[in-house]
Amino acid sequence: MKRNWLWLAGPWTLFAAIAIGWIAYWHIVAGTAEARLNAWADEQRADGASVQIGAIVRHGFPTLLRLELRDAAYAPARGGWRAETASLDLHVNLLNTEHISFAATAPIAIARSNGAVTTIAADALIASLRTRGGALAQAGIEANALTLDDASQDGVFRVDRAVLNVRPDPRAEGSYQVAFDAEALRLPRPVRSFEAFGLDIASLRAAVVIESGAVLINGAEGDPLGPWRDAGGKLRFEALVLNWGPLETTGNGEGWLDDQRRLAGELHFPIDDPARVFTAIAQGEEMSDDARQGLRLLSAAFALSGDDITLDAEARDGALRLEGVRVRSLPPVY
């Protein structure tokens, strides 16, 4: 009889021990996550940043761990912007605590130093972070039905589906690889000099290397990209796939900022029907008569020859040129 009792009690004792151990583990991980979050906030404040978390509420026991961050706000010490939201969820992988993700459960407002505010909203907006030994291994953002609305500007930027992934570039220390994929983009307003391309971009994909990207963390007050530029920072487009109006192509190139913080660089796009592209660009509303005439001549020449080309777009000395034809001036980015 005693042996039968032990046979029945053994599994239940083991189950109870596992359950008690899991409960303790869940609360330890939750407490550790909260402690790390608070330590990060303290470090940011010590560096001059502003961090606000109204409350941290634990959810998900026993199989998940979700920390709800209520009334959260963040402003970097030298970034010139501030982000805030009423609710943000932090998810922790219980089997790998170096993998965390954030899910936006309310719109996010980004306020800039000039007073403009952009509200970001989506049906789903998730950011993930994987570290290895405390260093970044990979980060990413996924969004469905994403909108960016700036109340001071006309129109709303919309994207049906967007995915962005970032990881250190193994070929160069301090540089990062960025992969971007977006479908069904809707621009808030026409792009100057490209009005005839329309507002709808069917798809945009890019494989980009941010050279000296680690320096971006140390933005200067009033000049957030200055230290990056001074360190030789550059965007290297290893592949840029664009399906927008008359343009369906895959190109490459590079870009940077000049000493006046204007865009500089060059892009190269193979074009099967250059006459159609140049005709559309020539319809730009604010284009000079000389530029319009030059583009029309290019369009006519390619319409007669039927040749395809590699379209060279160059930004230099504050001007955008297509095949050597000055299209428009380029003001400072900020």
pLDDT of residue 1: 47
Residue labelled with tokens 């005693």 = 2
pLDDT (tens digit per residue) in 55-86: 999 999 888 899 999 999 999 887 778 999 99
SS3 content of the chain, % helix, strand, coil (to 5): 25, 50, 25
Q: Is 268 exposed, middle or buried (0-12, 13-18, 19+ CB in 10 A)?
A: middle
The domain segmentation of the chain, as residue ranges, is 2-251
**Surface-to-core class of residue 158, CB atoms within 10 Å of its CB (0-12 exposed, 13-18 middle, 19+ buried):** middle
> Could you read off the pLDDT of 157-173 as tens digits, one per residue?
999 999 999 999 999 99
Compute the Cα dihedral for 209, 211, 217, 220 and give only its sign. Answer: negative
For residue 105, is pLDDT > 80?
yes
Using alpha carbons only, how large is the chain's radius of gyration in Å? Answer: 26
Identify the pLDDT of residue 12. 58
Residue 95 confidence class, pLDDT cut points 50, 70, 90: confident
Distance CA 192, CA 235 (A): 22
Candidates 177, 120, 173; CA nearest to 148 is 120
